[in-house]
């Protein structure tokens, strides 16, 4: 069980999100979602949900996965969202379109988007604002590269990303249900997770920065996740940390048993 369940921690229901990236045809996604709801069925029969669980399939799987999780207590999330509601933006998907398919969450600013598709802090900020307008809950990803870490620039990088995304939004326009995922780029998909104590240090920094940007009340309520090669056998490193309220899981979320074990570790 998570320590400190009576302190500020009690204000934050843990959150575990599975980022399926570009994996799975829609029927495969539906089958995987069915296995996930199956392995977690006992958790969600509880009256007070002990943890929020989100599945983020590729856009093409949203409809079928949405059907598979309907009524289960598991939420549907997307992997990105455009900042405009509609228009001449070939290949993009808007917040109303995601809501239409039953999405409640959306990942924004994942490092793979930043690295391969030219996402910047400015575009991340516009996407966040779109999520806020439509009450989609964003999971905002931040994190440093290995070179930045080696150069002692982790704090600088994470601070710049968070400011770039949130500065000036203020508490009135802050996205509802914002979560921030600390995902060191060098830990994503590499099998080399951060140390729990290092991740906690950055999670605490993120919470302090959220306090400056959005005010102390929102900072204490915002869930900060760790992501980067999370597996059932390393999850204890993270689940015991005071400022880590859950995980953003890539590879291991494609295995229902492994994902279920990670979710259970955060259930309170």
Angle between helices 154-166 and 121-133 (to 10 degrees): 40
CB of 201 to ligand PEP, least distance (A): 18
Binding mask 187-206 for ligand PEP (x = CB under 6 A): -xx-----------------
Tokens of 83: 């900042």
CA distances from 26 to 30, 31, 58, 264, 266 (A): 6, 9, 9, 26, 28
> Considering beta carbons, is residue 53 or 214 the nearer one to ligand PEP?
53
Instruction: Give the Cα separation of 258 and 99 in Å (integer).
Output: 28
Binding mask 4-43 for ligand PEP (x = CB under 6 A): ---------------x-x----------------------
Given CA atoms 92, 96, 101, 102 in this order, what sign does their dihedral have? positive
CB proximity list for 57: less than 8 A, separation 6 or greater = 20, 24, 29, 33, 65
Report the first-to-last Cα separation within the chain, whole angstroms.
6
CB proximity list for 30: less than 8 A, separation 6 or greater = 61, 64, 65, 67, 68
CB of 182 to ligand PEP, least distance (A): 10
Residue 183 annotated to the active site: yes
Tokens of 56: 């983020």
Binding status of residue 179 toward ligand PEP by CB under 6 A: no
Residue 134 annotated to the active site: no
182 three-class SS: strand
Residue nearest to ligand PEP (CB): 250
> Considering beta carbons, is residue 149 or 214 the nearer one to ligand PEP?
149
The residue within the footprint of ligand PEP, chosen from 183, 237, 243, 255 (CB under 6 A), is 183
CB of 31 to ligand PEP, least distance (A): 20
Binding mask 212-251 for ligand PEP (x = CB under 6 A): ---------------xxxx-----------------xxxx
Task: Say which of 64, 82, 110, 119 is annotated catalytic.
Answer: 110
Stretch that binds ligand PEP, among 97-105, 165-173, 181-189, 256-264 (CB under 6 A): 181-189
Q: By the criterion CB under 6 A, which residues form the site for ligand PEP?
A: 19, 21, 183, 188-189, 227-230, 248-252
Q: Where in the sequence numbering do the catalytic residues fall?
A: 110, 183
């Amino acid at each position: 069980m998570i320590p400190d369940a009576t302190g500020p921690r009690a204000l934050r229901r843990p959150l575990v999100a599975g980022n399926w990236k570009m994996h799975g045809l829609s029927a495969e996604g539906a089958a995987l979602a069915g296995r996930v709801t199956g392995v977690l069925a006992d958790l969600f029969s509880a009256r007070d949900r002990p943890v929020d669980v989100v599945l983020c399939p590729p856009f093409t799987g949203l409809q079928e996965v949405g059907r598979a999780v309907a009524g289960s207590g598991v939420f549907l999330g997307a992997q990105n969202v455009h900042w405009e509601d509609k228009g001449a933006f070939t290949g993009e998907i808007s917040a109303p379109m995601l809501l239409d398919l039953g999405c409640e969450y959306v990942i924004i600013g994942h490092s793979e988007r930043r690295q391969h598709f030219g996402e910047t802090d400015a575009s991340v900020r516009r996407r966040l604002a779109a999520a806020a307008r439509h009450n989609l809950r964003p999971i905002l990803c931040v994190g440093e590269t290995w070179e930045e870490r080696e150069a002692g620039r982790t704090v600088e990088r994470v601070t710049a990303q968070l400011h770039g995304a949130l500065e000036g939004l203020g508490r009135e326009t802050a996205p509802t249900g914002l979560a921030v995922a600390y995902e060191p780029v060098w830990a994503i998909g590499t099998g080399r997770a951060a140390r729990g104590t290092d991740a906690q240090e950055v999670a605490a920094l993120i919470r302090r920065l959220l306090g400056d940007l959005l005010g102390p009340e929102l900072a204490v309520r915002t869930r900060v996740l760790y992501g980067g090669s999370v597996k059932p056998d390393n999850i204890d490193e993270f689940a015991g940390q005071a400022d880590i309220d859950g995980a953003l899981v890539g590879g291991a979320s494609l295995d229902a048993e492994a994902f279920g074990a990670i979710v259970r570790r955060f259930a309170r």
